[in-house]
């Protein structure tokens, strides 16, 4: 167990959009943020993405999982090699399957392998303990969002919205003393975000993404699709709650639409899902700060702002790096695991009590 002093910690995240590995260093004692260090991004090749896509929805021992784990471990080992003077690393792995209340959760890649290759301690498997104790296992960034709210000097409740493959939000009351305190946090997945947009672009246009939402901006929204989407039982469940990547067969919902119209409709679905989520906040947020790749999609950002009664801005507006918040979060959580501090609580994942997830592997 590490001492309660500021350390340089590396965090790494490989998200459901399959774009690659984000890596970021923060200086932290697991409670406050003392500073930010260097960052890096290692993209997945098309061949690597194909291996990961083929393994989606599969569990350990099933076909393609071992190959996916090798891709994940190789990519992370390569990015880790570029960092020096690090006390600890946090490794999220690549989520292939997530069934809280069912088979559990599965992130491909072994932190023990990375510890051996890198030569330092690695904290990993962050979600399993939470799921085993009745939690959703996601989202896990909220405790870091609490630290960020304190770091930027927020004085009123606000929301951190992450637009990755799936959207998730954290409502934070920075006036509370600790993230696990009652009323400090409420966190949950909002619904699909970038994943259906990117999947449609890949499948129907042969491109990685709709840059800036340019194609979606030219399309017409099929409101019947949006209305049917919002009738999904997920939107009527009280948070905390989480999703896997393949929510509701989004591609099938827009299969009858031309590409621009399909993208416009999927964008509106993502924005409407965020609006539904805001309705669960204990107190309306003063502002919404957006991280993740979706903040680069101007059309998606405009659609979200049109639904909400408060300002919506990328996290860069308060001096943060929206590309690296998720990676930084796992650095922060790694330090908390190393110190024996909780990483989730009832209001973030629905777990029965505040719990510290993750396991540490030494080289």
DSSP codes, 80-109: HTT--S-SEEEEEEEEEEEETTTTEEEEES
- Give the pLDDT score at 245: 53
Measured torsion, CA atoms of residues 180, 186, 187, 192, in degrees rounded to the nearest 10: 180
Q: What are phi and psi of 203, to 5 degrees?
A: -75, -40
Same topology between domain 7-135+326-344+355-361 and domain 153-318: yes
> Would you kindly state where each structural domain of the chain is located, as residue ranges?
7-135+326-344+355-361, 153-318
Closest CA to 189 of 115, 100, 62: 100
Q: Considering only the top CATH level, what class is 7-135+326-344+355-361? A: alpha beta
Region at 85 (left for phi over 0; alpha for psi -120 to 50; beta for the rest): left
The helix/strand count (H/E) of the chain reads as 13, 12
- CATH fold for domain 153-318: Nucleotidyltransferase; domain 5 (3.30.420)
- Give the pLDDT score at 15: 81
Query: Is residue 87 within 8 Å of 9, Cβ to Cβ?
Result: yes
- Mean pLDDT of each 10-residue bin along the chain, 363 residues long: 85 88 97 98 97 96 98 98 97 93 93 98 96 89 97 98 92 98 95 94 95 98 97 92 72 97 98 97 97 95 97 98 94 97 95 93 95
The distance from CA 204 to its chain's CA centroid, rounded to whole angstroms, is 26
- Give the pLDDT score at 100: 85
- Give the pLDDT score at 70: 98
Residue located via tokens 């695991």:
337
- Give the pLDDT score at 248: 66
Region at 174 (left for phi over 0; alpha for psi -120 to 50; beta for the rest): alpha
């Amino acid at each position: 167990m590490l001492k309660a002093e500021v350390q340089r910690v590396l965090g790494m995240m490989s998200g459901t959009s399959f774009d690659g590995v984000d890596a970021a260093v923060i200086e932290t004692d697991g409670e406050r943020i003392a500073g930010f260090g260097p960052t890096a991004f290692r993209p997945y090749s098309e061949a690597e993405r194909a291996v990961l896509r083929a393994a989606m929805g599969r569990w350990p021992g099933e076909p393609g999982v071992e190959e996916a784990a090798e891709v994940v471990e190789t990519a992370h080992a390569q990015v880790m090699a570029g960092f020096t003077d690090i006390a600890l690393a946090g490794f999220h792995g690549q989520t292939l399957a997530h069934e809280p209340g069912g088979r559990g959760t599965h992130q491909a890649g072994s932190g023990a392998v990375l510890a051996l290759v890198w030569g330092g301690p690695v904290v990993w498997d962050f979600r399993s303990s939470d799921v085993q104790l009745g939690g959703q296992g996601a989202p896990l960034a909220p405790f870091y969002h609490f630290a960020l709210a304190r770091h930027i000097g927020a004085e009123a409740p606000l929301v951190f919205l992450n637009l990755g493959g799936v959207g998730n939000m954290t409502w934070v009351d920075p006036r509370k003393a600790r993230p696990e305190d009652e009323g400090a946090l409420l966190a949950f997945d909002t619904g699909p975000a970038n994943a259906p947009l990117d999947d449609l672009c890949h499948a129907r246009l042969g491109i990685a993404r709709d840059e800036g939402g340019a194609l979606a901006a030219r399309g017409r929204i099929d409101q019947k699709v949006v209305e049917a989407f919002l009738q999904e039982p997920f939107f009527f469940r009280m948070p905390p709650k989480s999703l896997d990547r393949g929510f509701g067969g989004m591609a099938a919902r827009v299969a009858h639409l031309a590409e621009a119209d399909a993208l416009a409709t999927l964008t509106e679905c993502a924005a409407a899902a965020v609006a539904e989520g805001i309705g669960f906040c204990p107190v309306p947020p003063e502002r919404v700060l957006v991280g993740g790749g979706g903040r680069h999609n101007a059309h998606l950002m405009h659609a979200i702002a049109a639904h909400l009664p408060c300002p919506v801005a990328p996290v860069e507006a308060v001096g943060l790096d929206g590309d690296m918040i998720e990676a930084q979060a796992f650095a922060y959580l790694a330090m908390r695991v190393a110190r024996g501090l909780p990483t989730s609580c009832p209001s973030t994942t629905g777990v029965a009590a505040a719990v510290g997830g993750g396991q540490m592997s030494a080289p």
